[in-house]
Amino acid sequence: MSGNKQREIALAILMIWWGAGHVFGSEPLVFESGEARTMLVELFTSEGCSSCPPADAWISQLKESPDLWKKIVPVAFHVDYWNNLGWRDRFAKPEFTARQRRYVAAWRGDSVYTPGFVVNGREWRDWFGNRALWRERPAKAGNLRVTLSNETDVTAVFTREDSRTSPLQLHVALLGSNLESDVKRGENSGRKLRHDFVVLQLAKTDLIASGDRWIGSISIPKQNAEKPRALAAWVSEEDVDSPIQATGGWLNSPAR
């Protein structure tokens, strides 16, 4: 069987499965970007870093922003290179550290550091002093529509604005908010730390091209967290971290 035929069959199965989820599954949640590029704001942080709480507070204040989920999608990655320095961060994962290292390598930087902000794949150091995010010139990136069914099944349709045909990938992050940690050791010993937009799970999958649309699906683990949660999703070129388009939203009420 040819590669094109295999892709056609896979696409047909995906479309049938996607439609069936709307008919037989529970009421789905739909998150959709506009055509203009949405900013993906990434924070690399750690509970072991005494300089990180102000950055955590900065990203938390985005809960009050009218641009949240419309123009800004925030995610906080907890890195693991602080874990052996007095306090083990329960949210840290080595893959989040690897993501930050890839960014630094792309910028030809010297080393990773916390807190570190990345906006649309670019390093951003001006968060301190409560400075506002820079505003890029409005650019059309394409429409990203993400549907979550049965709490775990994610499907995405991305209509690309440009005519490039390079392979694309979908990234899906399950986020925790209103999370608290009582730190017993390390630089933040004795402090109660509060976190929002924490990446609890991160998954990615290849998208399948169908004309000017790219379609994909992936399952995410079900979480038992009692705190409000959100979902963030973005599209990038294959094996590239910088986003092309992003969307997301709350899965339940974001209690203050």
115, 49 Cβ separation under 8 angstroms: yes
The reported pTM is 0.87
| Residues 6 or more apart in contact with residue 61 via CB below 8 angstroms | 130
Query: pLDDT per residue over 223-247, tens digit each?
Result: 765 566 999 999 999 988 999 999 9
H-run or E-run covering 51: none
159, 211 Cβ separation under 8 angstroms: no
Q: What is the mean pLDDT of the chain?
A: 87
pLDDT at position 139, please? 87
The answer to whether the Cα torsion of 38, 96, 83, 91 is positive or negative is: positive
Whole-angstrom Cα distance, residue 141 to residue 105? Answer: 25
User: What is the length of the chain?
Assistant: 256
For the record, the structure tokens of 202 come out as 């991160």
Residue 67 pLDDT > 60, yes or no? Answer: yes
For the record, the structure tokens of 191 come out as 């402090």
Q: What percent helix, strand, coil does the chain show, rounded to 5?
A: 20, 35, 45
Residue 57 pLDDT > 50, yes or no? Answer: yes
Residue 212 pLDDT > 90, yes or no? Answer: no
Query: Of 54 and 239, which is predicted with more confidence?
Result: 54
The 3 state secondary structure assigned to 79-141 is: CCCCCCCCCCCCCCCHHHHHHHHHHHHHHCCCCCCCCEEEECCEEECCCHHHCCCCCCCCCEC
pLDDT at position 165, please? 81
Query: In the predicted model, what is the mean pLDDT of residues 6-34?
Result: 62
